[in-house]
Chains A and B, each alone.
Chain A
Amino acid sequence: MSGLLQDIRYALRQLRRTPTFSVVAGLTLSLGICASVAIFAFVDAALLKPLPYRDASHLVDVTERTALFPRGNLSYLDYVDWKRLNTVFSSLDVWNGSGYLLQTPNGAVPVSAVRVSDGFFRTLGVKPTLGRDFYEGEDKVGAAPAVLLSFATWRNRFGAREDLVGQPISLSGKAYTVIGVLPKDFQFALRGRAEFYTALQPAMECEKRRSCHNLYGVARLKDGVTVSAAHADMNTIAKQLEAQYPDSNRGQFASVIPLSQSIVGDVRPLLLMLLSGAGLLFVIACVNVASLLLVRSESRKREMAVRGALGA
C-alpha cells in the first residue's frame, strides 16, 4: 500500500514537472474516453439495456404483414380474432397514437396521447404510481371514458395534485375521468412523449371495418414460447382469417418481432457503426498517448537503468 502511494506521489510529481505532456496526454485520453462513453451510453440505452418493462424479453411487437408492407397496422377486428385464437401470448393488446385538445383555464391546448386497449399496461408490466390501471372492459364502447396521465403531465400541467385522481378533465370536448398517474420513469418509446393514455374504445368508423388498419399490437409471450413460434402461430391464424374473410384479408400475414427490435428499428446498424467508430477513436487516442509515453521513456532510460541496478 505504501508502495502504491509512493508510486502515485511520484506520478503526480512527474505530471507537475511536465505540464505540457500532461495536458496533451490528458486531453487526448479525455477526448477518446468521452466520445466512447457518450456513444456507449447511447448504445447501451438503445441496444444493450432491456426495455424498462417487466420481463422485457417476453414482449413482442405484433403487426400485420403484406407483400408491400413488411410491418403494417392491425385492423381492430383482426386484433380481436388474433387475441381470441392465439395460443402463444399470455396477453395481446393494441395501441395507436392520438391527439386531443386539452381544455385548460387558458383555453384549449393540443396534447399528444395514446389510445390503448385495457390490458396494455398489464402487458407491459407497468403499474400506475397513483390511482389505478384500466379495468378489464373499460375499452368497450359505452364504458365511462377514462384516462391515465404521464408523470410529467401530472406534475407540470396539474401541479402533482393527488386529488386529481377521480376528477374529470376535458379532452377534445369530452369528459374523461383521470384514473391514475403512470410511474415517473415510464416511457413508451414508440410514441415518444405522449401525455395522456385513454382507453381505446372502438367507436371510430375505421375500427368497425376489417379492411381498415390503424392499430399496433404489443404482446407478452407465454413462458417457453419463442418469437419464431409466435410468428408461426400468428401466421396460421392469419391464413384462417384470409380464408374466412378473403375480401379484406387476402395476402395479409402476421409479423412478430421483439419489441426492442421494433423500437430500435433501422438505427441498430448505425449505432453499432458509431460504437465501432468511437472504439476506434479511443484506440487512436490510446496509441497516441502510448507514442507520447514511448518518446518520453527515452528520456527516462537512465532512471530505468538505475532502478534496474537497485533491483527493480
Chain B
Amino acid sequence: MGEAGQALIEIEGLTKVFYTDEIETHALSGVHLTIRKGDYVAISGPSGCGKSTLLSILGLLDSPSAGKYHLNGQPVESLDFGARARIRNREIGFIFQSFNLIGDLTVYENVELPLTYRQKMPSSERKPRVMEALERVGMAHRLRHYPSQLSGGQQQRVAVARALAGHPSILLADEPTGNLDSHNGEAVMKLLHELHEEGATICMVTHDPRFVQQAQREIRLFDGKVVAEEDLQKQEATV
C-alpha cells in the first residue's frame, strides 16, 4: 500500500472554526501532523477534543478553516467538491463506528460500491478486487447476504473489506470498535493490526486505551490541539 517511510499526510497549522450564532468554536487550533506510509497512528483524547473533526478533514469530508494539508505530496485543502470525491474514492478507505453499510445492498454490492464510482473500472475488474477484499476479512462466504443478516462484527469486517477494495493509500477508522462487544472489537482490531503488518497505513480515532496500544504512534488531542505525540513502539522497546 505504498513505500514505507515516505510522508503520506502532512498537515501544518491546521485550524477548524465552527460559527454558530456569532459564537466561534475552535474545533482544531494549529494542528501539525505527519503520517508516513506504513504508519499506524491512533488519535485519542476526550470527547469534544476534535478527533472526529480532524479525521473528517484528513478524509476530505470537511475542509479546514486555515492551514495546509498535503496528501501524497499534493495540496488538497482547497480542492473543489468533485476533486475531493475523486481523491476520497481512490486514496482513502473509511471505516466507521456504526459500519455504515447500505441495508439494501448485499455484502458483495456494498464492497463493490466505491469501485462503481470509478467510471472506467469495468465489472470484470471490480469482481476480483471485491473477492480479494472479502477473502482478506474472511467474509467471502457471505456474498449474497444483506447487512441485517450479519452480526455487528461481521458487518464491521465487511466495512473493512469495502475500505480495502479500492486499494487506498490510507485507512481512516473512526472508533471502529465503538459499536462492537469486546470479543468482536478485538477481532476487528486484530484485523487492522494484520493489515498494518501487511503494509497498510492506518489512522484510527479511538478513546479505548487498549486499542491505542496496538498502534505505532499515539497522537493525543485536547481542546483542538495536539498535546502529546508518543511513539508507542519505542516506548515498548524501552520498557
Contacts and interface: CB of A to CB of B under 8 A. Distances in A.
A308 B100 CA distance: 12
Interface in B115-137: 116-118, 122-123
Interface in B88-130: 88-90, 94, 96, 100, 102, 104-105, 109, 113-114, 116-118, 122-123
B113 A307 contact: yes
B59 interface: yes
Contact of A14 (B59, B100, B104, B114): B104
B86 interface: yes
Contacts of A303: 102
Nearest to B85: A311
Contact of B94 (A3, A17, A310): A310
Interface string B65-99: 00000000000000000000110111000101000
Interface residues of B, number: 22
Given A3-B116, A6-B116, A309 B104 contact: no
A10 B89 contact: no
A3 B109 CA distance: 11
B104 A310 contact: no
Nearest to A309: B94
A302 B100 contact: yes
A167 interface: no
Given A2-B123, A6-B109, A10-B105, A311 B114 contact: yes
B228 interface: no
Contacts of A309: 59, 61, 88, 94, 100
A17 B85 contact: no
A228 to B, nearest CB: 58
A13 B147 CA distance: 14
Contacts of B85: 308, 311-312
Given A6-B109, A311-B89, A17 B61 contact: no
B123 A310 contact: no
A14 B103 CA distance: 10
Interface residues of A, number: 16
Nearest to B100: A306
A311 B86 contact: yes
B117 A310 contact: yes
Interface in A150-183: none
A311 B163 CA distance: 12
Interface in A1-31: 2-3, 6, 10, 13-14, 17
A21 to B, nearest CB: 14
A310 B89 contact: yes
A307 B90 CA distance: 14
A306 B88 CA distance: 12
B116 A17 contact: no
A3 B115 CA distance: 10
Contacts of B96: 306
Contact of A311 (B90, B100, B122): B90
A197 B102 CA distance: 71
A307 B85 CA distance: 10
Given A2-B123, A302-B100, A310 B105 contact: no
A2 B100 CA distance: 23
A131 B113 CA distance: 69
Contacts of A3: 116
A14 B96 CA distance: 24
B71 to A, nearest CB: 14
Interface of B: 59, 61, 85-86, 88-90, 94, 96, 100, 102, 104-105, 109, 113-114, 116-118, 122-123, 162
18 contacts: A2-B116, A2-B123, A3-B116, A6-B109, A6-B116, A10-B109, A14-B104, A17-B104, A302-B100, A303-B102, A306-B96, A310-B88, A310-B113, A310-B114, A310-B117, A310-B162, A311-B86, A311-B90
Q: Which 6 A-B pairs have the closest CB atoms?
A: A311-B89, A2-B123, A310-B114, A306-B100, A311-B117, A13-B104
